[in-house]
Amino acid sequence: MSCQTTAQAAELPKVNESGAGEKNPKVVAFLCNWCSYAGADKAGASQLPVPQELSVIRVMCSGRLEPTLILEAIQKGADGVMVLACHPGDCHYKEGNLRAFCRAELLERMLPQLGVDPRRFSFDYVSAAEAEKFSRITTEFVERVRSLG
């Protein structure tokens, strides 16, 4: 009986000194296999800081992402969603990243109407060589989402 109580207590969220619950945001990052996923891999190999709050989903092209997948991630509890694509002109499927950019712009405009703060969404370009950029923008995005509560 006492072991069960201890196990339940261990699952309670941490409480800081002010009494408010400390919450680590859940951030889903959709990464293109050919660029940003490789950039993330390089960031890890280079031991650059990558936020632990990031849940990476590898896709073969950012153009594969329908806005409904992004909304589904938010609906299922993500506090923030990132889409990281190949730079313009570098998409392996010609213009998938341009389609993704257009969808991202539309989605950003739609989010407030759906009751979602558009600052909880981010679209950017990261190449396989941009490990430092990957580290920086993921860290900044997680902090931004954390500040939104």
Give buried/exposed letters for 103-141 (b at 16+ CB in 10 A, else e): bbeebeeebeeeebeeebbbbbbbbbebbebbbebbbeb
Which of 57, 69, 92, 132 forms a contact with ligand FES (CB under 6 A)? 92
Based on CB atoms, which residue is closest to ligand FES, 95 or 119? 95
Based on CB atoms, which residue is closest to ligand FES, 70 or 86? 86
The residue to which tokens 């896709």 are assigned: 59
Local structure of 116: helix, strand or coil:
coil
Q: How far is the CB of 7 from ligand FES (least distance, A)?
A: 44
Query: Count of CB atoms within 10 A of residue 74's CB?
Result: 18
Which residues within the stretch 5-64 sit at the binding site for ligand FES (CB under 6 A)?
Answer: 32, 34-35, 61-63
> Longest C-alpha distance within the chain, in Å?
62
Which of 24, 26, 67, 93 forms a contact with ligand FES (CB under 6 A)? 93
Based on CB atoms, which residue is closest to ligand FES, 71 or 104? 104
Which of 29, 74, 86, 142 forms a contact with ligand FES (CB under 6 A)? 86
Query: CA-to-CA distance for 127 and 131, rounded, in angstroms?
Result: 8
Contact between 70 and ligand FES per CB under 6 A = no
Which residues within the stretch 95-114 sit at the binding site for ligand FES (CB under 6 A)?
Answer: 96-97
Query: Count of CB atoms within 10 A of residue 30's CB?
Result: 24
User: Among 106, 118, 59, 115, which residue's Cα sits nearest to residue 83?
Assistant: 59
Q: How far is the CB of 97 from ligand FES (least distance, A)?
A: 4
Residues near ligand FES (CB under 6 A): 32, 34-35, 61-63, 85-86, 91-93, 96-97
